[in-house]
A and B are shown apart, each in its own frame.
Chain A
Amino acid sequence: AQSVTQLDSQVPVFEEAPVELRCNYSSSVSVYLFWYVQYPNQGLQLLLKYLSGSTLVKGINGFEAEFNKSQTSFHLRKPSVHISDTAEYFCAVSYNTDKLIFGTGTRLQVFP
Protein backbone atom coordinates (compact mmCIF):
# COMPACT_ATOMS: atom_id res chain seq x y z
CA ALA A 1 0.00 0.00 0.00
CA GLN A 2 1.13 3.53 -0.70
CA SER A 3 2.30 5.27 2.45
CA VAL A 4 4.36 8.10 3.88
CA THR A 5 6.33 7.81 7.10
CA GLN A 6 7.48 10.69 9.24
CA LEU A 7 9.45 8.97 11.95
CA ASP A 8 9.78 11.94 14.29
CA SER A 9 6.55 13.14 15.84
CA GLN A 10 8.36 15.98 17.61
CA VAL A 11 11.68 17.73 17.01
CA PRO A 12 12.89 20.23 19.64
CA VAL A 13 15.71 22.53 18.60
CA PHE A 14 17.30 25.75 19.76
CA GLU A 15 17.09 28.91 17.70
CA GLU A 16 19.80 29.28 15.02
CA ALA A 17 20.58 25.56 15.10
CA PRO A 18 20.20 23.39 11.98
CA VAL A 19 17.30 20.98 11.68
CA GLU A 20 16.33 17.98 9.59
CA LEU A 21 12.82 16.55 9.42
CA ARG A 22 12.69 13.05 7.98
CA CYS A 23 10.26 11.66 5.44
CA ASN A 24 10.21 8.25 3.80
CA TYR A 25 7.70 6.94 1.28
CA SER A 26 6.85 3.54 -0.11
CA SER A 27 8.58 2.82 -3.37
CA SER A 28 7.03 3.61 -6.70
CA VAL A 29 8.14 4.17 -10.26
CA SER A 30 6.88 7.72 -10.46
CA VAL A 31 6.32 10.04 -7.54
CA TYR A 32 5.78 13.69 -6.74
CA LEU A 33 6.80 14.93 -3.30
CA PHE A 34 5.70 17.88 -1.22
CA TRP A 35 6.35 19.48 2.14
CA TYR A 36 3.64 21.56 3.76
CA VAL A 37 3.72 23.65 6.95
CA GLN A 38 0.77 24.20 9.25
CA TYR A 39 0.79 27.01 11.81
CA PRO A 40 -1.68 26.82 14.73
CA ASN A 41 -5.29 27.19 13.67
CA GLN A 42 -4.37 27.59 10.02
CA GLY A 43 -4.49 25.50 6.89
CA LEU A 44 -1.51 23.93 5.16
CA GLN A 45 0.93 26.08 3.23
CA LEU A 46 3.22 24.67 0.55
CA LEU A 47 6.91 24.88 1.48
CA LEU A 48 8.41 23.14 -1.53
CA LYS A 49 7.84 20.41 -4.08
CA TYR A 50 9.79 17.88 -6.10
CA LEU A 51 8.35 17.00 -9.50
CA SER A 52 11.43 16.11 -11.54
CA GLY A 53 14.95 17.28 -12.35
CA SER A 54 17.40 18.38 -9.67
CA THR A 55 17.12 16.31 -6.54
CA LEU A 56 17.84 19.32 -4.30
CA VAL A 57 14.77 21.50 -4.04
CA LYS A 58 14.67 24.93 -2.44
CA GLY A 59 11.52 26.33 -0.94
CA ILE A 60 10.22 29.29 1.00
CA ASN A 61 11.53 30.52 4.36
CA GLY A 62 15.02 29.08 3.76
CA PHE A 63 13.94 25.43 3.70
CA GLU A 64 15.28 22.86 1.27
CA ALA A 65 14.76 19.15 0.70
CA GLU A 66 16.62 16.41 -1.11
CA PHE A 67 14.96 13.66 -3.09
CA ASN A 68 16.78 10.35 -2.69
CA LYS A 69 15.28 7.70 -4.92
CA SER A 70 17.45 4.82 -3.71
CA GLN A 71 16.49 5.47 -0.09
CA THR A 72 12.93 6.57 -0.95
CA SER A 73 13.42 9.64 1.22
CA PHE A 74 12.63 13.35 1.00
CA HIS A 75 14.11 14.93 4.12
CA LEU A 76 13.51 18.60 4.89
CA ARG A 77 16.37 20.76 6.14
CA LYS A 78 17.08 24.27 7.30
CA PRO A 79 20.59 25.45 8.27
CA SER A 80 19.41 27.90 10.93
CA VAL A 81 15.92 27.92 12.42
CA HIS A 82 13.98 30.81 13.89
CA ILE A 83 11.34 30.95 16.60
CA SER A 84 8.81 31.64 13.87
CA ASP A 85 9.50 28.21 12.33
CA THR A 86 7.65 26.55 15.20
CA ALA A 87 4.83 24.67 13.47
CA GLU A 88 3.66 21.27 12.25
CA TYR A 89 5.33 19.99 9.09
CA PHE A 90 3.72 17.45 6.77
CA CYS A 91 5.35 15.42 4.05
CA ALA A 92 3.02 14.37 1.23
CA VAL A 93 3.36 12.08 -1.76
CA SER A 94 1.44 11.75 -5.00
CA TYR A 95 1.98 8.48 -6.84
CA ASN A 96 1.44 9.88 -10.32
CA THR A 97 -2.20 10.46 -9.54
CA ASP A 98 -4.10 13.38 -8.16
CA LYS A 99 -4.36 11.80 -4.71
CA LEU A 100 -2.07 13.22 -2.02
CA ILE A 101 -1.07 10.93 0.82
CA PHE A 102 0.11 12.73 3.92
CA GLY A 103 2.39 11.65 6.70
CA THR A 104 1.34 12.04 10.32
CA GLY A 105 3.35 15.23 10.72
CA THR A 106 6.36 16.42 12.70
CA ARG A 107 6.00 19.08 15.34
CA LEU A 108 9.01 21.42 15.18
CA GLN A 109 9.49 23.33 18.41
CA VAL A 110 12.13 26.05 18.35
CA PHE A 111 13.40 27.30 21.71
CA PRO A 112 15.17 30.61 22.35
Chain B
Amino acid sequence: EAGVVQSPRYKIIEKKQPVAFWCNPISGHNTLYWYLQNLGQGPELLIRYENEEAVDDSQLPKDRFSAERLKGVDSTLKIQPAELGDSAVYLCASSPVGTGNQPQHFGDGTRLSIL
Protein backbone atom coordinates (compact mmCIF):
# COMPACT_ATOMS: atom_id res chain seq x y z
CA GLU B 1 0.00 0.00 0.00
CA ALA B 2 1.40 3.35 -1.00
CA GLY B 3 1.69 5.84 1.83
CA VAL B 4 0.69 9.48 2.07
CA VAL B 5 2.62 11.46 -0.52
CA GLN B 6 3.50 15.10 -0.07
CA SER B 7 5.29 17.53 -2.34
CA PRO B 8 7.48 19.40 -2.40
CA ARG B 9 9.70 18.07 0.40
CA TYR B 10 11.43 21.40 0.81
CA LYS B 11 10.46 24.93 -0.14
CA ILE B 12 12.37 28.16 0.33
CA ILE B 13 10.67 31.44 -0.46
CA GLU B 14 10.92 35.09 0.44
CA LYS B 15 8.40 36.62 2.80
CA LYS B 16 5.20 37.94 1.23
CA GLN B 17 5.41 35.38 -1.57
CA PRO B 18 2.70 32.73 -2.05
CA VAL B 19 3.37 29.03 -1.55
CA ALA B 20 1.37 25.85 -2.02
CA PHE B 21 1.71 22.31 -0.72
CA TRP B 22 0.18 19.19 -2.19
CA CYS B 23 -0.94 15.97 -0.53
CA ASN B 24 -2.12 12.65 -1.94
CA PRO B 25 -3.63 10.48 0.83
CA ILE B 26 -3.72 6.71 1.02
CA SER B 27 -6.21 5.29 -1.44
CA GLY B 28 -9.62 4.86 0.14
CA HIS B 29 -8.95 7.13 3.09
CA ASN B 30 -11.86 9.52 3.43
CA THR B 31 -10.37 11.71 6.14
CA LEU B 32 -7.47 14.04 5.44
CA TYR B 33 -5.62 16.27 7.89
CA TRP B 34 -3.15 19.12 7.56
CA TYR B 35 -0.86 19.75 10.51
CA LEU B 36 1.68 22.41 11.37
CA GLN B 37 4.81 21.28 13.20
CA ASN B 38 7.09 23.93 14.63
CA LEU B 39 10.64 23.08 15.59
CA GLY B 40 10.74 21.07 18.81
CA GLN B 41 6.97 20.77 19.01
CA GLY B 42 4.30 18.22 18.27
CA PRO B 43 2.01 18.58 15.27
CA GLU B 44 -0.96 20.92 15.60
CA LEU B 45 -4.08 20.46 13.50
CA LEU B 46 -4.80 23.12 10.90
CA ILE B 47 -7.74 21.56 9.06
CA ARG B 48 -9.56 18.26 8.72
CA TYR B 49 -11.54 17.04 5.71
CA GLU B 50 -14.19 14.38 5.51
CA ASN B 51 -14.21 13.62 1.79
CA GLU B 52 -14.35 17.08 0.20
CA GLU B 53 -15.88 18.87 3.18
CA ALA B 54 -13.77 20.80 5.66
CA VAL B 55 -15.28 19.72 8.99
CA ASP B 56 -12.78 21.37 11.32
CA ASP B 57 -10.87 24.46 10.23
CA SER B 58 -11.03 26.29 13.54
CA GLN B 59 -7.21 26.48 13.81
CA LEU B 60 -6.58 27.59 10.24
CA PRO B 61 -5.49 31.26 10.02
CA LYS B 62 -7.97 32.16 7.34
CA ASP B 63 -6.55 35.58 6.59
CA ARG B 64 -3.58 34.00 4.84
CA PHE B 65 -4.13 30.24 4.73
CA SER B 66 -6.51 28.36 2.48
CA ALA B 67 -7.04 24.72 1.63
CA GLU B 68 -9.07 22.64 -0.73
CA ARG B 69 -9.75 18.99 -1.40
CA LEU B 70 -11.32 18.68 -4.78
CA LYS B 71 -13.14 15.41 -5.51
CA GLY B 72 -12.34 14.23 -2.01
CA VAL B 73 -8.89 12.86 -2.84
CA ASP B 74 -5.85 15.13 -3.26
CA SER B 75 -5.55 18.29 -1.23
CA THR B 76 -3.62 21.54 -1.44
CA LEU B 77 -2.72 23.95 1.32
CA LYS B 78 -1.84 27.51 0.37
CA ILE B 79 -0.28 30.43 2.17
CA GLN B 80 -0.55 33.92 0.73
CA PRO B 81 1.33 35.97 1.68
CA ALA B 82 3.90 33.99 3.64
CA GLU B 83 5.36 35.50 6.81
CA LEU B 84 8.61 34.73 8.60
CA GLY B 85 6.71 32.92 11.35
CA ASP B 86 5.30 30.43 8.86
CA SER B 87 8.65 28.64 8.69
CA ALA B 88 7.81 25.12 9.85
CA VAL B 89 7.05 21.61 8.65
CA TYR B 90 3.61 21.06 7.16
CA LEU B 91 2.38 17.51 7.56
CA CYS B 92 -0.46 15.79 5.80
CA ALA B 93 -2.15 12.72 7.27
CA SER B 94 -5.04 10.49 6.34
CA SER B 95 -7.24 7.86 7.95
CA PRO B 96 -10.00 5.59 6.68
CA VAL B 97 -12.65 7.44 8.68
CA GLY B 98 -12.55 10.36 11.07
CA THR B 99 -13.13 8.55 14.33
CA GLY B 100 -10.87 8.83 17.33
CA ASN B 101 -9.84 5.17 17.31
CA GLN B 102 -8.40 5.26 13.81
CA PRO B 103 -4.63 5.81 13.61
CA GLN B 104 -3.57 8.56 11.27
CA HIS B 105 -0.99 7.87 8.58
CA PHE B 106 1.47 10.68 7.95
CA GLY B 107 3.41 11.86 4.95
CA ASP B 108 7.03 12.99 5.18
CA GLY B 109 6.02 16.63 5.28
CA THR B 110 7.04 19.81 3.51
CA ARG B 111 9.71 21.87 5.23
CA LEU B 112 9.04 25.55 4.55
CA SER B 113 11.72 28.17 5.06
CA ILE B 114 10.88 31.86 4.75
CA LEU B 115 13.73 34.27 4.01
Contacts and interface: CB of A to CB of B under 8 A. Distances in A.
Given A43-B4, A94-B100, A104-B42, A99 B56 contact: yes
Given A43-B109, A44-B106, A98 B99 contact: yes
Contacts of B41: 104-105
A80 interface: no
A94 B43 contact: no
A104 B101 contact: no
A51 interface: yes
Contacts of A63: none
Contacts of B4: 43
A95 B101 CA distance: 9
B100 A32 contact: yes
Contacts of B106: 36, 43-45
A90 interface: yes
A4 B44 CA distance: 12
A34 interface: yes
A34 B100 CA distance: 11
B60 interface: no
Contacts of A34: 103
A35 to B, nearest CB: 10
Nearest to B45: A99
Interface of A: 4, 9, 32, 34, 36, 41-46, 49, 51, 90, 92, 94-100, 102-105
Interface of B: 4, 6, 31, 40-45, 48, 56, 91, 93, 95, 98-109, 111
